[in-house]
Structure 1
Amino acid sequence: MSKEKGNLSIHSENIFPIIKKWLYSDHDIFIRELISNACDAITKLKRLNSLGEADLDGKTDFQVKVILDKTARTLKFIDNGIGMTEEEVKKYINQIAFSGAEDFLKTYKDKGDADQIIGHFGLGFYSAFMVADIVEIDTLSYKNEAGAVKWCCDGGIEFEMEDSNRRERGTEITLHLGQQGETFLNEYTVKSTIEKYCSFMPYPIYFDIADKEPEKDGEGNIIITEPKALNDTLPLYTKQPNSCTDEEYKEFYQKTFKDFREPLFWIHLNMDYPFNLKGILYFPKLNTQFDTMEGQIKLYNSQVFVADNIKEAIPEFLLLLKGIIDCPDLPLNVSRSFLQNDGFVRKISDYITKKVADKLNSLFKSERENFQKFWDDISPFVKYGLIKDNKFYEKIESIILYKTTQQQYVTLEEYFEKHDGKLNKEVYYVTDTVQQAQYIQMMQAHGIEAVVLDHGIDSAFISHLEMKKNDISFKRVDSNISEVIKDMDEAPDEETATKERDILTKVFKNALNKEDCQIQLESLKSEDVAGMIILSEESRRMQEMMKMYSMGELNAGMMGSEETLVLNKKHPLVQYILERGEEKTEAVDLIAQQVYDLAVLSHKSLSPEAMTNFIKRSHQIMRYMIG
């Protein structure tokens, strides 16, 4: 073939600027595209060989090589796949093959939103021009009669094509890196990019440095080392679940996610119909509540990395997990980073949700003890899923566990059975077992267990459950005084109760200098507690919501007006105040202030000023005791 020059068959001279600027959001993606093409070339050859249409002549050591030459400023991608003939180069390279070319240019020439580029355009090879001033192709087809071809283009619409002296089947693509490709002259950058996008490509990928000095031992002898592929050609998720061991699952997790901790458990996805999907989802062990934000679901398409955490294909609540999902049927757009076809993608999402729900139900029914051990770690994921996904809610609502203050794990049904009719579909809970210890002990003394709901998601979770289950309500232990801890035999007549409440209200308003002080007088079965602070469940949740939205001042104002001080009429200190309340003595004021602060301490922290006064007053009271 004589040297040939020509123009690329495209409809605008501006195609390459568009490719460089808008086609891909990340310039490093050219490495994924060129290695993907190399692997495709090998796969095609293997397929032809299996059909008896290609003679490999025993050369089946398939591989992809990437060679960096810092001096020449080149980056080469070499495969021993199917190769191309002269006619195929003209067809696949000289004619930029994408559907609706004019519509593409018309729509996106003046726009910068790559997210909106839709369709399978076959533009992967041209991503090389994002970083290269000149791109060369040297290729030899598997066909016996074919001659080798060399093609060269500088990023304009002109190319040169001529015979080549290449003797090995396959394709070598050389990128002459320009200013935009400067960062890829760095060995670490190239290797880490290959590992990022190509960790699970089906053929070994080797990286090398041109003219690299050989490694030598202490005596000056050259050390010969076996080249090591950068990728795992048969990742664990591609295997049948029954052929994988627990140790393999753990090792794969730690290597893939660089997490030294072992996962709690995992779900191996393996589906062939109605779509092809494989993967592994891991439930990681959490150290803190903030760990829940570190989830990572890596999405692959035929072992080619697409992106992390694509919400369209993965149920939102599972984005908090870590895992690999590979679906060759994903309808990707040109940059492979965004999805199309909502109906199909929704089916994938629904399938994943179902598999997770099935796994959780299986663990609950057949491995309840282990399920309980996992619960504290997995509950944030599960509760978030219940809130975000109604189908997930329907499948696992009945197996949600609640940890009691006695460290037992129960379902809602078991919680009510445990109380044997004492509770009218009310679930008592605590958010801080230390702060609310007094309330917990009082409830326990009368046979009522509270559940611990101390995670950031629990407030939204219980509100969601109450909406779903109209007959169930959640009440924090300090939201009211349960009827079961009141002494109903000690109830005074209405006139006496009003008089006593008026006396106590006057005393406490004066002693505390709080005009909005709300007093409630009750006879409690326990004589150990003089006073308790309660705040209605509705008011407290409103305050939490305002706090969440940074409405701190308004929140603080409401706290002062909504709290109620419940005084236990059977306690000697309350009796003392009732008997001497009209006298307005220093002792009455001191006791009232101390009873109030002790009640607040069981409910929340004192302010710095109140804590200072509390300590000073405590010393004063002790001096009275010894005086």
Structure 2
Amino acid sequence: MNRESGCISIHTENIFPIIKKWLYSEKDIFIRELVSNGSDAISKLKKLVSIGEAEVDGNEKYYIKVVVDKEKKTLQIIDNGIGMTGEEVKKYINQIAFSGIKDFVEKYKDKGEEAQIIGHFGLGFYSAFMVSSKVQIDTLSYQKGAQAVRWISTSGIEYEMEDSDRTERGTTVTLYIAEDSEEFLDFYKVRETLVKYFSFLPYEIYLEDANAAKEDKKEGGDNEEKKAEEPKPINDTNPLWLKNPKDCTEQEYKDFYKKVFFDFNDPLFWIHLNMDYPFNLKGILYFPKLRNEIDNFDGKIKLFCNQVFVAENIKEVIPEFLMLLKGTIDCPDLPLNVSRSFLQNDGYVNKISNHITKKVADKLISIFENERESYNKYWDDINPFVKFGCIKEKKFYERVKDIIIFKTTGGEYVTLKDYLERNKDKHENKVFYVTDEKQQAQYIKMFKDNNMEAVMMNTVIDTHFIQFMEMNNSGVKFLRIDADLSESMKDKENNVDENSQKEISEALEKMFKESLNNDKLRIKVEALKSSALPGMILISEQARRIQEMSRWYGGFNLEGLYAEEETLVLNSNSGLIKSLLNLKDKEDRKEDVKLICEHIYDLAKMSHKQLEPDDMTKFIERSNSLLTKLASGL
């Protein structure tokens, strides 16, 4: 062809600032775009071969090669795909408004299954100018008798075209890297980027360091030829998610998980997504084993488009609660380089999100119904995920509400329905829960002594989940184990008449308020079945929750408005309380009464939280004083 030059036809003003600042937020994305174009070119050729419109050598291997030349300051992306004629270069490169992929799919859409063409990147080729001072294309079409074409542009606005000396079918894009982007002349930087985006591209990718090849020749000398190693592709062309789930082994799922997410622990279980209709969706979602509570919010869902990595944790496509998991999802038909507001309102995207939610719920239900013992074992790891999903996605909650389970203080796993049924005679429609087994050990012991059980609610999300459950289960009330006394704990056979009980209550209340110098202290006297415990603290559930929420969200100091409503419960069946009552009128024992009251109160407080430093100091001093008195009386 005759040498030709001109201006590129741009149908949008200031297209390159848009490419640089809006369309591509990450600089390395130009590699994704150019290698994806090479992949598309191979897919096009394979399509034409499959319908008899192109011929290739039956032994020919398709490939993409990336060559880094630090000396020449070039980066080349080479493919042996369909190539382009001069007219196609003018149409698809010089006229940005057209999309070669779109035209190709439209032309061949009725000739069998559509080729798997990435092709949603639109302006992808022009991302090359983000890092280049000059871009050169050398391309030779698959068509017989075609002339190779060279296209050069230094600005992305003006171009030159002429014949090329390329002799093999396909395309080479040569980037002359600009000074402000020379990090992309670093072999390892390019390798890192290729691995990031193309670990699972369907065609083999090879990375070559042109300068290293020159060094090898120098070292080998004229008399000794170094034996070249067979080059290895940097990618796996057949990722596990493309296989039929029936053909995948348990070990393959585990190995794939460890390889992709660099986790040495085996996952708990997984969900293999494999859908062709009404939309194309494949992937694997893993439920990881948690090492600590921080891991609950450290998930990673990798989104792919035809095996090309796009991004992680795109909440517009993947339900937010699934971000707690780890996995790979491949959506070939997803429009990728569009605004997130578009994704939020796109019906196709919503269908994908709903389908994934349904598949996750179905998997959990299946394990619950068919492998209940395994489900119980998984619960400690998966319960934050399930609870978060219920709060965030109403449809998810509706599906899994009957398989939400709770671990009891007896070590069993029960549903809400099971718990309420088992305890209806002791505390109807009340669910007692524990947030700290060690701190609330005394209360747990009381429950066990009375053949009662509480459930464990000790994760970060439980504060919110408790309120969510109350809103969605009419009449059910959750109470922390130190919030109230169950009727089952009270001694209903207590023979003290009402007047005597009132007299005892008034005497104890007066004694403790005076001894503790606290006129506002709430005191309640109950006859409990257990005589071992002289006193305990109860905290108002409502007031405590408001306090916790003010601390959780920060900036709202509600201490004065909603102070923790603390009640000291004294057990009139306790031998110590009875002895204390006998001392109430003895003037010479007033100091002893004061010490004992303070000690009972501190012991009660220690059963539900740590003492403040000053209180702990006084407690220790008082303990020494009481022991001294005891020893002196022996």
Normalised-by-shorter TM-score class: over 0.9
Pick the aligned partner of 1:440 from 441, 444, 455.
444
The answer for the alignment partner of 1:116 in structure 2 is none
Per-residue Cα deviation, 1:519-578 (whole angstroms, up to 9, x for no partner): 000000110000000012112211111111235864488546x10000001112212332
Q: Does 1:373 align with 2:377?
A: yes
Per-residue Cα deviation, 1:271-291 (whole angstroms, up to 9, x for no partner): 111111000000000011110
Pairs within 5 Å for 1:302-317: 302-317=306-321
Give, in whole Å, the separation in 1 of the partners of 2:121 and 2:414: 55
C-alpha displacement at 1:32, in angstroms? 0.4
SS at match of 2:166: coil
Give, in whole Å, the separation in 2 of the partners of 1:479 and 1:220: 85
The answer (yes or no) to whether the contact 1:429–1:475 under 8 Å persists in 2 is yes
The answer (yes or no) to whether the contact 2:316–2:340 under 8 Å persists in 1 is no
Give, in whole Å, the separation in 2 of the partners of 1:414 and 1:21: 57
Q: Which amino acid aligns with 2:384?
A: P
The answer for the alignment partner of 1:105 in structure 2 is none
The answer for the alignment partner of 1:570 in structure 2 is 573
Pick the aligned partner of 1:608 from 608, 613, 619.
613
Give, in whole Å, the separation in 1 of the partners of 2:55 and 2:524: 94
The answer (yes or no) to whether the contact 2:68–2:210 under 8 Å persists in 1 is yes
Pick the aligned partner of 2:303 from 299, 311, 315.
299
Q: Which amino acid aligns with 1:398?
A: D
Between 1:517-526 and 1:503-512, the stretch displaced more is: 503-512
Q: Does 1:528 align with 2:532?
A: yes
Cα distance change of structure 1 residues 615 and 270 upon mapping to structure 2, 3 Å threshold = same
The answer (yes or no) to whether the contact 2:408–2:454 under 8 Å persists in 1 is yes
The answer (yes or no) to whether the contact 1:16–1:155 under 8 Å persists in 2 is no
Give, in whole Å, the separation in 2 of the partners of 1:558 and 1:625: 41
Cα distance change of structure 1 residues 550 and 9 upon mapping to structure 2, 3 Å threshold = closer
C-alpha displacement at 1:499, in angstroms? 3.2
Relative to the length of structure 2, the TM-score reads 0.92
Q: Which amino acid aligns with 1:248?
A: E
Q: Which runs of 5+ in 1 are unaligned?
A: 100-118
Q: Which runs of 5+ in 2 are unaligned?
A: 100-118
Give, in whole Å, the separation in 2 of the partners of 1:61 and 1:590: 90
Per-residue Cα deviation, 1:225-257 (whole angstroms, up to 9, x for no partner): 221111111100011000000111011111111
The answer for the alignment partner of 1:47 in structure 2 is 47
How many correspondences in the alignment?
Answer: 606
Cα distance change of structure 1 residues 120 and 265 upon mapping to structure 2, 3 Å threshold = closer
Per-residue Cα deviation, 1:328-383 (whole angstroms, up to 9, x for no partner): 12233358997364322111111111101110111011111111111100111011
Pick the aligned partner of 2:409 from 402, 405, 408.
405
Between 1:592-601 and 1:471-480, the stretch displaced more is: 471-480
SS at match of 2:127: helix
Between 1:138-147 and 1:578-587, the stretch displaced more is: 578-587
The answer for the alignment partner of 1:214 in structure 2 is 216
Between 1:539-548 and 1:317-326, the stretch displaced more is: 539-548
SS at match of 1:365: helix
Cα distance change of structure 1 residues 366 and 229 upon mapping to structure 2, 3 Å threshold = same
Pick the aligned partner of 1:620 from 625, 629, 632.
625
Q: Does 1:458 align with 2:462?
A: yes
SS at match of 2:203: coil
The answer for the alignment partner of 1:82 in structure 2 is 82
Cα distance change of structure 1 residues 35 and 156 upon mapping to structure 2, 3 Å threshold = closer
Pairs within 5 Å for 1:339-358: 339=343, 341-358=345-362
The answer (yes or no) to whether the contact 2:91–2:98 under 8 Å persists in 1 is no
SS at match of 2:493: helix
Give, in whole Å, the separation in 2 of the partners of 1:253 and 1:276: 22
Q: Does 1:169 align with 2:169?
A: yes
Per-residue Cα deviation, 1:386-408 (whole angstroms, up to 9, x for no partner): 11111111111111111111211
Q: Does 1:25 align with 2:30?
A: no
SS at match of 1:600: helix
The answer for the alignment partner of 1:122 in structure 2 is 122
Q: Which amino acid aligns with 1:90?
A: K
The answer (yes or no) to whether the contact 1:120–1:334 under 8 Å persists in 2 is no
Q: Which amino acid aligns with 1:574?
A: I
C-alpha displacement at 1:47, in angstroms? 0.6
Give, in whole Å, the separation in 2 of the partners of 1:622 and 1:154: 92
Pick the aligned partner of 1:421 from 414, 425, 429.
425
Give, in whole Å, the separation in 1 of the partners of 2:539 and 2:224: 80
Per-residue Cα deviation, 1:266-317 (whole angstroms, up to 9, x for no partner): 0000111111100000000001111012101111111121111111111111
Cα distance change of structure 1 residues 18 and 352 upon mapping to structure 2, 3 Å threshold = closer
C-alpha displacement at 1:21, in angstroms? 3.1
Give, in whole Å, the separation in 2 of the partners of 1:335 and 1:3: 40
The answer (yes or no) to whether the contact 2:427–2:487 under 8 Å persists in 1 is no
Give, in whole Å, the separation in 2 of the partners of 1:320 and 1:253: 15
Per-residue Cα deviation, 1:198-240 (whole angstroms, up to 9, x for no partner): 11111011101013133989x9872422211111111000110
Q: Does 1:579 align with 2:573?
A: no
C-alpha displacement at 1:453, in angstroms? 1.0
Between 1:51-60 and 1:370-379, the stretch displaced more is: 51-60
Between 1:431-440 and 1:578-587, the stretch displaced more is: 578-587
Give, in whole Å, the separation in 2 of the partners of 1:334 and 1:396: 34
The answer (yes or no) to whether the contact 1:519–1:566 under 8 Å persists in 2 is yes
Give, in whole Å, the separation in 1 of the partners of 2:68 and 2:342: 30
Give, in whole Å, the separation in 2 of the partners of 1:557 and 1:21: 50
Give, in whole Å, the separation in 1 of the partners of 2:406 and 2:232: 50
The answer for the alignment partner of 2:200 in structure 1 is 200
Cα distance change of structure 1 residues 87 and 491 upon mapping to structure 2, 3 Å threshold = farther
Pick the aligned partner of 2:245 from 241, 248, 263.
241
Q: Does 1:593 align with 2:595?
A: no
Cα distance change of structure 1 residues 363 and 156 upon mapping to structure 2, 3 Å threshold = closer
Between 1:293-302 and 1:79-88, the stretch displaced more is: 293-302
The answer (yes or no) to whether the contact 1:130–1:180 under 8 Å persists in 2 is no
The answer for the alignment partner of 2:260 in structure 1 is 256
Q: Which amino acid aligns with 1:154?
A: T
Instruction: Please provide the CA RMSD for this pair.
Output: 2.2
Give, in whole Å, the separation in 1 of the partners of 2:576 and 2:592: 11
The answer (yes or no) to whether the contact 2:137–2:151 under 8 Å persists in 1 is yes
Per-residue Cα deviation, 1:14-71 (whole angstroms, up to 9, x for no partner): 3333323332111100000001000000000011011111111335210000000001
Give, in whole Å, the separation in 2 of the partners of 1:156 and 1:429: 66
Cα distance change of structure 1 residues 180 and 491 upon mapping to structure 2, 3 Å threshold = farther
Cα distance change of structure 1 residues 337 and 165 upon mapping to structure 2, 3 Å threshold = farther
Cα distance change of structure 1 residues 433 and 32 upon mapping to structure 2, 3 Å threshold = same
The answer for the alignment partner of 1:284 in structure 2 is 288
SS at match of 1:94: coil
SS at match of 2:216: coil
SS at match of 1:540: helix
The answer (yes or no) to whether the contact 1:320–1:381 under 8 Å persists in 2 is yes
